[in-house]
Structure formats: C-alpha cells, structure tokens
A = this chain, B = another copy of it.
Amino acid sequence: MEVRPEDRGEGPVRDRDTVLGKALAILRAFGPADSVLPLAELVRRTDLPKGTVHRVAGDLVRHRLLDKTAHGYRLSGGLFELGLRAAAERTLLELAMPFLQDLYERTHETVHLGVREGHEVVYIAKIGGHRQARAPSRTGGRMPMHCTALGKVLLAHAGEQEWTAVLTGPLERRTPRTVIAPGLLRGQLTRAVETGVAYEVEESTPGLLCVAAPVLAPDGRTAVAAISVTGPVGRFRPESHANAVRAAAAALGSTLARRGH
C-alpha cells in the first residue's frame, strides 16, 4: 500500500490507472491552441511512460480519435463528429442559430453563445464577419466568469451559492481593467440581475467591449445560456446593443421553453 502522489484529493478525475483514464489524459493533453503534438510532448504532458503513450495513442488512431502525421499526433475528425452529437449543447446550438444570425445581421459584430460549466464559461458558438474584433474566445473554449460579460450574466443568474463560491475564490487579473474586487463584482452582478444585461470593458482582453444577456429557464430565475455581442474599443458602443441582445436572449428563452424544454 504505497502513497501515490496524485492522492491529494484534488480536482475532478485524474485517473491514470485505467485505460480510459490514460486515453482521456492523452486527448486532453491537447490544449485549445495545439494542433499537432509529438509523442515526446504527450509523454511530458501526461506524465505517462513512453511505451504506454505510444501504445494508447496508437489505439486512439485506430479508433479515429487521433490522426498520426509526420510530425506527431492530432485530434481527429472522428472526435469532432462525436462531440457534435452531445445532445444538450447541440440542440441549444441549433435552436439558437437563427437568433444569433439575426443579432449578427443587426450589429455586424462578433456574437457569442455560451453556457456555464463549473466556474467557467464554455462557448457553444461564435459567429462573426470579416471585420470582427480579434477575441480570444473560441467555439468549445473556456473563459473565466468574472472577466467576461457572458460569464458575469451567467453567474448573476446562477444563484447565491455560486456567487459566493466564485467571489471568494481567486479572481485572476487578465488585464489592468479586470475587476478582481469581490465587492465591486457583486455590485455588477446585482445590476445585471436588475437590468438584464452585463457589460465587459477590456476586462479579459485589451481593446474589447462586450454586452451579454441571459437566456432564462421557464422559471425566470436561472440562466441556461447567455448571448453576447463583442466589439472593439472605438467604433463599438455596448449600450446601444443592449436591447438587441436582451431581445435575442429572451426570444431564444421562450423558444427553448416551448420546444425541447
């Protein structure tokens, strides 16, 4: 009975002892920015024996979850297909698309659809045109809640328990304007509930502004998703789009209530 270093009782599942755990560790070793990773890099990131990574990665290739290129491994199209079968986010995406489309056409700025997952925002969709602001968000990617409009509005409608959980946790400073004072943030959340929109002013990325509105569940309290419009400092005036975003989010909310629930 030896003591394993990972027995710190932390985090989600850090299961290096099952085949599945190893496989997932390898797949998740790919960050949002990585495209191909050589075997050695996978070994470094997963902290698994070289031989093991080699074999499991080989199996993953056989199962169409990885592609093997001359320069290393790459997440494969099979994974893309599989991921887009995820029921919840997919129906949300499909039902939301028309509303996002309208919103884009009205604003011609980058439009986001996101949901809360744990203490972060996950982007379900991102649509934009040629002159879109260069936002760090990516479809399927994550961002902290406290420094994005989408995150703030989702948190605002997530219940008191979430508020304190996030506000007492560490609030990473992303830019000089990131709000990391819990009291200030709490005030913003309260306003978001009152006004039905949240703003972001260069809090996650310099030069970016954002408005977001919640897509509320039938109960009218909890948010199942949120919609936002993002634009660059200068031409973009968030306030002038508040109504459009609010309307889109509300419309999507009642569509969800009517259909899939």
Contacts and interface: CB of A to CB of B under 8 A. Distances in A.
B74 A80 contact: no
A81 B59 CA distance: 21
A63 B14 CA distance: 9
A191 interface: no
Interface stretch (A93-101, A164-172, A173-181, A198-206): A93-101
Given A12-B64, A20-B63, A32 B127 contact: no
Contacts of A104: 101
Nearest to A100: B127
A67 B117 CA distance: 13
Interface in A64-93: 64-65, 67, 74-77, 79-91, 93
5 contacts: A13-B64, A15-B62, A36-B87, A101-B127, A102-B129
A63 B13 contact: yes
A55 to B, nearest CB: 11
B101 A62 contact: no
Contacts of A74: 86-88
A245 B122 CA distance: 32
Contacts of A27: 82
A64 B85 CA distance: 14
Nearest to A31: B85
Interface stretch (A42-50, A132-140, A153-161): A132-140
A117 to B, nearest CB: 6
